[in-house]
Chain A
Amino acid sequence: MREKRPGLMVYGPLIAFILGSAFPFYWSFLVASHDDAEFTANPSLLPGGNFFVNAGRVLDSIPFWKALGNSIIVSGTVTVSVVVLSSLAGFAFAKLRFRGRGPLLVFVVATLAVPTQLGIVPLYMAMAEFGWSGTLGAVIVPNLVTAFGVFWMRQYIADAVPDELVEAARMDGCSMIRTFWHVGLPAVRPAAAMLGVFTFMTSWNDFLWPLIVLNAENPTMQVALEKLQSGYYVDNSLVLAGTTMATVPVLIVFLVLGRQIVAGIMQGAVKG
């Protein structure tokens, strides 16, 4: 069955959907590029010339660069850690034999359904006790490895790494960790990359816990945006200049890695 090329009936709704998807971003930039009072009186669909003025005011209002740096440090550390530790555990679950492997893996999967976010009260008390509140460690450490990551890597490694290869490495006298390093790691690169992208985005967006445990002087990007918005007099141009500036890095990442993200979601769907 050769399909014919789709026509306007397909492209029309798709274009409409994507325009709808992109519009809020454009709107944000639109408001950010005008003077607030003037824009309220005379809304327009064309960008104004005030963006850099508003951006400058954002830099005066919140520690923008610090927040950006903090978010990169937090998300970067969490991503590297989740990818490495999940690969290690996934490799063990997929390719190594040990007592209790089945039940332990079932346990990992079961924890996927546990809303651990609801444990924030004691977590906060613990962080305060250790003097960690306000530090980046408080938002990094709880996220160093995830059940999703372990399960995802386990599913991938089970198919991608031949048992014979593991066996051969063992016969050559490789220790477990070297077997992982030389046989496991090289094979998991595509899955690790996807896990990395997802972890980075999840961490970048994390809000409730950072809002509780961090403060306005040492925030992540999301917390800084919240502070920007929570002034008593809301200046839309100022706030949306902030959101625009915070969105640009994410959009760049998306343009570079979008293809992989799409592939990752679709591949994960088939496995799940």
Chain B
Amino acid sequence: MTSELTVARGRGSQPRPPRRSDNDDSGGRAALGWRDRLTHLDVRFSPYLFIAPFFLLFAIVGLFPLLYTAYVSLFDWELGGDEQPFVGLENYVTLMTDSQFWNAMVNTLSIFVLSSGPQVVVAVLLAALLNTALRARTAWRMGVLLPYVASLVALTIIFANLFGPQYGLVNNLLELVGLDRIDWQAERWWSHVAIATMVNWRWTGYNALIVLAAMQAIPRDVYEAAVVDGASAARRFFSITLPMLRPTIIFVVVTSTIGGLQIFTEPKMFAPAGSSSGGSTNQYQTVVLYMYQSGFQSFDLGYASAMAWVLFVVIIAIAGINFLLTRRIASSGED
């Protein structure tokens, strides 16, 4: 991408009108000199003015808070407390031996894996269905996108109701087909499944559209050649479509990483009565939820900050690994 940027308006690419041509074709030197200087300033500084809002805002509400989080994490910083004694790395030491934190980390990863794996598989299948010569195709595409637009809080409330242990529809259906009822709240594994279901339900259609776009970008003649060679539809799917979708699938997984590891709304709203503990034994408390609980319900801002930084490092590390992996796979795919 960087190479494209520099090439986009390379100096030598096109004959360019001489810069100060407007100097020659008019009189009034003094006035022009003044206007010239103004134009010069405009050309020189306006681009910076145009991009300044982003950089300013990012510095103030993005970068600075992140760095200041590291600072706060070195103090015993209680919200509303009189003084904030410096404690060095104590918050981090406590955190490393805090079983609730590791529990939350495992929960986060577990929910993330449960929600990204099945999602990609279903999204690819769904995209294959949408990639046929459907009638009213926009209507179908809108249909699969429906969950994406609904508000997350509302949806989680609805799903919490559906997965209700006592009167929930899911359990009633399980019973109807002769299976045991499941306590979707109390049992750790099943609570992860329930939360992952919400994530999947919301994002599968969206990702299917992204995969669909990539499918449509695959050149037609590749398929035609395969048909001539007598390849079956299934064979064409596995030997052509899937390999050519690989970069897109990786893209989908990578983009879901950053959001997925910060999952908050679903575990927060899954718990009844406004609790932030993620279940009675924290069985589905995620890291961001624990951070919220420590910082804004126990008012231990220093500890919450330490947690934020550890999660920050984890996310950057995973994103970095993803990035390297993507590059390797993408380049090996081209050979």
Name the CB-closest residue of B to A116: B62
Q: Does more than half of chain A's interface fall in helix, strand or loop, or is it mixed?
A: helix
Query: Does B209 sit within 8 A of A, measured CB to CB?
Result: yes
A118 and B152 contact, CB distance less than 8 A: no
Among listed B95-103, B178-186, B188-196, B305-313, interface-contacting one: B305-313
A59 within 8 A of B: no
Kindly identify, within residues 35 to 89 of chain B, every residue whose CB is under 8 Å from any CB belonging to chain A.
Answer: 39, 42-44, 46-48, 50-51, 53-55, 57-58, 61-62, 64-66, 68-69, 72
* Residue in B50, B51, B172, B269 whose CB lies within 8 Å of A229: B269
Which stretch from A50-58, A186-194, A238-246 is at the chain B interface?
A: A238-246
Shortest Cβ gap from B231 to chain A (Å): 12
Chain A residues with Cβ below 8 Å from B312 are 115, 118
What distance in Å separates the Cβ of B129 from its nearest Cβ neighbour in chain A? 5
B9 touches A222 (CB 8 A): no
A97 touching B149, Cβ below 8 Å = no
Contacts of B93 in A (CB 8 A): none
B169 within 8 A of A: yes
Are B223 and A21 closer than 8 Å at their CB atoms? no
Asked if B227 is at the interface (CB within 8 A of a chain A CB), the reply is: yes
> How many residues from B make CB contacts under 8 Å with A?
105
Residues 95-115 of B contacting A (Cβ, < 8 Å): none
**CB–CB A117/B262 < 8 A:** yes
* Residue of B143, B211, B223 most packed against chain A (CB within 10 A): B143
- Is B328 on the interface with A (CB-CB < 8 A)? no
* A266 adjacent to B209 (CB under 8 Å): yes
The binding surface of chain B is classed by DSSP as: helix
- CB neighbours of A106 from chain B (8 A): 2
Q: Are B316 and A113 in contact (CB under 8 A)?
A: yes
0 or 1 for each of A37-81: is its CB under 8 Å from B? (1 = yes): 000100100000000000000000000000000000000000000
Distance from B260 Cβ to chain A, minimum over Cβ atoms (Å) = 11
Note all chain B residues with C-beta closer than 8 A to A267.
213
Interface residue ranges, A against B (CB under 8 Å): 1, 3-6, 10-11, 13-14, 17-18, 20-22, 24-25, 27-28, 31, 40, 43, 85-86, 88-89, 91-98, 101-102, 104-106, 108-109, 111, 113-126, 141-142, 144-147, 150, 158, 163, 167, 171, 173, 175-177, 180, 201, 204-205, 207-208, 212, 221-222, 225-227, 229-232, 234, 236, 239-240, 243, 246-247, 250-251, 253-254, 258-259, 261-262, 265-270, 272
Q: Identify the 6 closest CB pairs spanning chains A and B, nearest first.
A: A230-B274, A119-B65, A176-B46, A92-B50, A243-B154, A122-B68
Q: What are 25 A-B contacts defined by CB distance under 8 Å?
A: A5-B135, A14-B134, A17-B144, A24-B201, A28-B154, A98-B48, A113-B316, A118-B308, A119-B308, A121-B301, A121-B304, A125-B72, A147-B54, A158-B8, A167-B16, A175-B46, A180-B50, A225-B151, A226-B269, A230-B274, A232-B273, A243-B155, A266-B209, A269-B214, A270-B217
7 A-B pairs besides A124-B295, A207-B264, A207-B265 with CB distance below 8 A are A96-B50, A118-B311, A122-B72, A125-B301, A175-B46, A243-B157, A250-B151
Q: Residues on B close to A: CB < 8 A?
A: 1-2, 5-6, 8-9, 14, 16-17, 22, 39, 42-44, 46-48, 50-51, 53-55, 57-58, 61-62, 64-66, 68-69, 72, 125-126, 129-130, 132-135, 138, 140-147, 149-155, 157-159, 161-162, 167, 169, 172, 201, 205-206, 209-214, 217, 220, 223-224, 227, 248, 251, 258, 261-262, 264-265, 268-269, 272-274, 288, 291-292, 295-296, 301, 304-305, 308-309, 311-312, 315-316, 319
